[in-house]
Chains A and B, each alone.
Chain A
Amino acid sequence: EDQVTQSPEALRLQEGESSSLNCSYTVSGLRGLFWYRQDPGKGPEFLFTLYSAGEEKEKERLKATLTKKESFLHITAPKPEDSATYLCAVQGRLAGYALNFGKGTSLLVTP
């Protein structure tokens, strides 16, 4: 069974204090690993898709990386507007079309 574990559950950073969020996964043949951002009361907003170990993608202050067992979402010099819950999901070859989501990391960036 595919499993996704995100850590930490919650993270509080000062503005400008860089850090990383972790997504550990076990999957029967990875089709894709997805990162989303979710603001309170809103739907998940797509950030990145990674397909194979060694792949990296960047967008503004965010950079996602992928190994065979985990993915990291690096946040460089965060701003208060980066505060949100970050969700990681995997799609495995045996899971059909389903995404298997972690419980998320709640990030708070204070001025």
Chain B
Amino acid sequence: NAGVTQTPKFQVLKTGQSMTLQCAQDMNHNSMYWYRQDPGMGLRLIYYSASEGTTDKGEVPNGYNVSRLNKREFSLRLESAAPSQTSVYFCASSEVGSADTQYFGPGTRLTVL
């Protein structure tokens, strides 16, 4: 039982390049989330998917798109990377969204030059 997995673990991009961060969970959870973590700041929600087939914006959605591919997988895409998107990205999942514990993946460390 792997929980929440993320790929890649590390990535370096040049400004303007695009990439997709992948996330998968094997806990049969309905809700999935993407957060970013920056030094000196708390984790901030980028996008979430309350259930398969739905996605909604979080606190900091600009510059990102998401796809809920199926119940297990939730991807985050940067269409044109900017240095301000240098961060550590975490995917999380929960059984349902409201008042339910979110379980986090190991993170992707992204650097945009």
**Within 8 Å of chain A (Cβ to Cβ): is B98?**
yes
A99 to B106 CA separation, bound complex (whole angstroms): 18
A42–B31 touching, CB < 8 Å: no
Q: Which bucket holds chain B's interface residue count?
A: 20 to 34
Total cross-chain contacts (CB, 8 A): 61
A103 to B38 CA separation, bound complex (whole angstroms): 10
Scoring B residues 2 to 17 as 1 if CB is less than 8 Å from chain A, else 0, what string do you get? Answer: 0010000000000000
A46–B103 touching, CB < 8 Å: yes
B99–A91 touching, CB < 8 Å: yes
Minimum C-beta distance from A70 to chain B (A): 16
Minimum C-beta distance from A36 to chain B (A): 8
Minimum C-beta distance from A10 to chain B (A): 13
B104–A99 touching, CB < 8 Å: no
A72 to B35 CA separation, bound complex (whole angstroms): 25
A103 to B44 CA separation, bound complex (whole angstroms): 10
A42–B42 touching, CB < 8 Å: no
**Within 8 Å of chain B (Cβ to Cβ): is A8?**
no
Consensus secondary structure, chain B interface: loop
A31 to B97 CA separation, bound complex (whole angstroms): 11
**Within 8 Å of chain B (Cβ to Cβ): is A96?**
yes
Closest B residue to A4 by beta carbon equals: B42
Residues in B whose Cβ lies below 8 Å from that of A49? 99, 101
**Within 8 Å of chain B (Cβ to Cβ): is A45?**
yes
Minimum C-beta distance from B93 to chain A (A): 11
A87–B43 touching, CB < 8 Å: yes
B42–A97 touching, CB < 8 Å: no
**Within 8 Å of chain B (Cβ to Cβ): is A86?**
no
B106–A42 touching, CB < 8 Å: yes
Residues in A whose Cβ lies below 8 Å from that of B97? 96-97
Residues in B whose Cβ lies below 8 Å from that of A36? 104
**Which 3 A-B residue pairings sit nearest by Cβ, starting from the closest?**
A101-B42, A97-B97, A43-B104
- Excluding A97-B48, A103-B41, 13 further A-B contacts by CB distance (< 8 Å) are A4-B42, A42-B106, A43-B4, A43-B90, A96-B48, A96-B97, A97-B56, A97-B97, A98-B59, A99-B45, A99-B102, A101-B43, A104-B42
